[in-house]
Chain A
Amino acid sequence: GAVVSQHPSRVICKSGTSVKIECRSLDFQATTMFWYRQFPKQSLMLMATSNEGSKATYEQGVEKDKFLINHASLTLSTLTVTSAHPEDSSFYICSARDQWDRGIGETQYFGPGTRLLVL
């Protein structure tokens, strides 16, 4: 099956620093990638939709200047948490949609997640 990787798997940083998280589709091309945030014991909350070669679409309440998304190629999207603060600590998960998948639901394939801890 399709594989999505994320790097790093976990990161600890000091308050005020910026952190970049990479999301890669390893064996398919993804014109669309999604970034989610998940707090402990809670559901996934969509942060933004990333489209290759264009600006990301952010969900209501998500600060686009704080969570910078770049989708420069069909296999890579990055999320940069700028000037991170302790409240940004969370589990960040990306998903990618295979642009050629015309199956039952044009399945989204999820990455393994990145655990961010801001001290």
Chain B
Amino acid sequence: QQQVKQSPQSLIVQKGGISIINCAYENTAFDYFPWYQQFPGKGPALLIAIRPDVSEKKEGRFTISFNKSAKQFSLHIMDSQPGDSATYFCAARVKGNAGNMLTFGGGTRLMVKP
């Protein structure tokens, strides 16, 4: 059972465009929603994260929009650049005895064309 559903699986955007990746969840016990960026052959790196008491968070060209009632959150990459080409994972965390285990979405492979 996939607890965090991510779409699209792949995305092609022109340089300067906006990349939008969406995630949806069912478990209302999730209390922390990070996004990770992963380049081939490397480990994931935290990009930006949000708590459900905030509807939007912006850091540079990256923005998370969060809709608690719809149980959806999305990542927007403004002015997309070829260097942004990577796989992006959304994740969600339930705080519990496991020490804050993360559940990952399926990933989105982003390609930004020059």
Chain A residues within CB distance 8 Å of chain B: 4, 6, 31-32, 34, 41-44, 46, 49, 51, 57, 91, 93, 95, 97, 104-113, 115
B107 to chain A, nearest CB (A): 5
- Other than the given A44-B104, A93-B44, A105-B93, 10 more pairs (CB < 8 A) read A34-B101, A42-B106, A44-B44, A49-B98, A49-B101, A110-B36, A110-B43, A110-B45, A112-B43, A113-B43
Which residues of chain A are near B43, meaning CB under 8 Å?
4, 6, 93, 95, 110-113
Beta-carbon contact of B49 and A105 below 8 Å: yes
Beta-carbon contact of B102 and A46 below 8 Å: yes
Interface residue? B99 (CB, 8 A): yes
Interface residue? B61 (CB, 8 A): no
Q: Kindly supply a per-residue 1/0 record for chain B positions 86-111, scoring 1 wherever the CB is within 8 Å of any chain A CB and 0 otherwise.
A: 00010001000011111111110100
A57 to B96, CA, bound (A): 13
Within 8 A of A (CB), among B15-45: 32, 34, 36, 41-45
Beta-carbon contact of A32 and B99 below 8 Å: yes
Beta-carbon contact of B44 and A110 below 8 Å: yes
B95 to chain A, nearest CB (A): 8
A6 to B43, CA, bound (A): 10
Which residues of chain B are near A91, meaning CB under 8 Å?
41
Q: Known A57-B98, A105-B34, A105-B93; judge A43-B44 contact (CB<8 A).
A: no
Interface size on B, residues (CB 8 A): 24
Which residues of chain A are near B76, meaning CB under 8 Å?
none
Which residues of chain B are near A107, meaning CB under 8 Å?
34, 46, 49
3 tightest Cβ-Cβ pairs between the two chains A and B: A32-B99, A110-B43, A105-B32
Which residues of chain A are near B100, meaning CB under 8 Å?
32, 97, 105-106, 108
Which residues of chain B are near A31, meaning CB under 8 Å?
99
Can you report 6 residue pairs joining A to B where beta carbons are below 8 Å apart?
A: A32-B100, A42-B106, A43-B106, A97-B99, A106-B32, A115-B41
